[in-house]
């Protein structure tokens, strides 16, 4: 059984998602979302976060907006969704407007190019760190490792479209994970 959702205020939700948005400015949003939601706040467990993130990536829309909707709904219902979305989007939208103006005003300066390269390297490092942390808990056997490797090879190396990759790997994942004649109490010792 999963634990009951903790009681979290709307302000806590908004501030946490604002922290996620601002800490990951330039990339690494999923890594920061996991760091805040799972590690620091402990609002979700690793398994629930990964399941939610998978669904958020499959559904239409921005992944982190979908994650904000999921967490907001779980912790505070419809009003929680409003709090998480405001926290996630308000300050970054204002920053993007200001940064867009500054970029087009000063884009020819070498310092701007250096700053952008540094930000993208940091985003890649955060994403790799998240893959390592979550992989240690989820890739617990040869089949999950093989499925992960197949998805990475098809999408990351061969650059096949995500829908094609999912069309190939998802049925294999479902086939592997499908319950086969297990009874609900099969994990308990016989009396």
117 and 148 housed in the same domain: no
93 and 34 housed in the same domain: yes
119 and 49 housed in the same domain: yes
Task: Kindly state the average pLDDT of the residues 99-116.
Answer: 85
66 and 133 housed in the same domain: yes
pLDDT tens sequence across 164-190: 999 999 999 999 988 876 555 544 444
Which class for 28: exposed (0-12), middle (13-18), buried (19 or more C-beta within 10 A)? buried
- The answer to whether residues 51 and 17 touch, using CB atoms and an 8 Å cutoff, is no
167 and 118 housed in the same domain: no
pLDDT tens sequence across 148-158: 999 999 998 99
133 and 147 housed in the same domain: no
- Nearest partner of 128 among 5, 12, 24, 28, judged by Cα: 28
- Which domain range does residue 157 map to? 139-178
Q: Is there a domain that residue 166 lies in?
A: yes
pTM listed for this prediction: 0.59
61 and 129 housed in the same domain: yes
35 and 120 housed in the same domain: yes
Give how far the C-alpha of residue 174 lies from the chain's centroid of Cα atoms, to the nearest Å. Answer: 21
For position 84, what pLDDT does the model report? Answer: 97
Q: Is there a domain that residue 40 lies in?
A: yes
- At residue 76, what are phi and psi to the nearest 5 degrees? -145, 10
89 and 23 housed in the same domain: yes
């Amino acid at each position: 059984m999963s634990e009951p959702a903790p009681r979290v205020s709307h302000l806590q939700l908004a501030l946490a998602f604002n922290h996620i948005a601002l800490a990951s400015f330039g990339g690494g949003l999923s890594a920061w979302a996991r760091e805040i939601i799972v590690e620091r706040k402990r609002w979700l467990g690793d398994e629930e976060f990964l399941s939610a993130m998978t669904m958020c990536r499959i559904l239409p829309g921005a992944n982190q907006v979908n994650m904000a909707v999921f967490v907001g709904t779980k912790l505070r219902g419809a009003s929680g969704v409003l709090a998480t979305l405001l926290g996630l989007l308000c300050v970054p939208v204002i920053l993007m407007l200001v940064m867009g103006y500054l970029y087009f005003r000063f884009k020819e300066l070498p310092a701007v190019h250096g700053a952008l390269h540094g930000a993208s390297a940091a985003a890649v490092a955060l994403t790799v760190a998240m893959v390592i942390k979550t992989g240690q808990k989820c890739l617990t056997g040869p089949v999950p490792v093989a499925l992960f490797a197949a998805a990475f090879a098809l999408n990351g190396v061969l650059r096949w479209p995500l829908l094609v990759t999912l069309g190939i790997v998802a049925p294999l994942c479902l086939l592997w994970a499908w319950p086969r004649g297990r009874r609900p109490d099969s994990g308990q010792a016989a009396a």
